[in-house]
Amino acid sequence: MIDPDVAAAGGSEAPSAPRGDTMADLVRELATVSDQIKAHEGTAKDLKSRRSQIVADLLELWERDDVRSAEVGGRKAFIHPRTFPVLRERPAEQGGGRYTNADVVAVLNRIGRGAAVSPPTVNHQTLGAILREYEESDTGMPPELAEVVELGSVSDIRVGPPRKNRP
């Protein structure tokens, strides 16, 4: 059970299993844990916000200096790109709005790649892989497909675990 005095002092004693605890003990512990959660609610949000700013600053710096990773203090930080398919906007003369998954499936069927997705839905991981293949090929994406979908990307920076000391 969490010691209310330790918790009130900002300690982080791990809770014990409720074996033999009385209802009063459990209510007291619930109140203590609820207070701890409330006291730390903003911490994770603030840390995530700061992390986002640091990542944005590092990405800008690394792009300028053509850097993909760095190791500091035994921790390696590296760029982790994530790509995904993005449905394009339909031209106004065609009614506007986004193209649909059905439009993508129709185009994939016309260009002979329809078997890679499961109509009438689209497996977006498979579609993303198809788009990456086209992007990396010498011929590029077929114009008919590029009209309805594009490859979007977001970069993040991941930090690896501390390196273990090797003898």
Q: Is 145:103 a contact under the CB 8 Å cutoff?
A: no
Statement to judge: residues 115 and 91 lie in one domain: yes
Q: Is 157:80 a contact under the CB 8 Å cutoff?
A: yes
Determine the pLDDT at residue 119: 62
Statement to judge: residues 33 and 56 lie in one domain: no
Statement to judge: residues 14 and 51 lie in one domain: no
Q: What is the pLDDT of residues 7-22, one digit of tens each?
A: 444 555 555 545 567 8
Into how many domains does the chain fold? 2
Three-state DSSP class for 35? helix
Instruction: Tell me the residue range of the domain where 18 lies.
Output: 4-39
Determine the pLDDT at residue 148: 95
* Domain-located, residue 166: no
Tokens 């106004």 correspond to 92
Q: How many CB atoms lie within 10 A of CB 100?
A: 14
Q: If residue 6 lies in a helix (H) or strand (E), which one and from where to where?
A: helix 4-8
Residue 97 sits at φ, ψ, to 5 deg, of 80, 170
Statement to judge: residues 77 and 147 lie in one domain: yes
What value does the mean pLDDT take over residues 114-123? 72
Q: What is the pLDDT of residues 82-103, one digit of tens each?
A: 999 999 999 999 899 999 988 9
* Domain-located, residue 75: yes
Statement to judge: residues 49 and 128 lie in one domain: yes
Statement to judge: residues 152 and 95 lie in one domain: yes
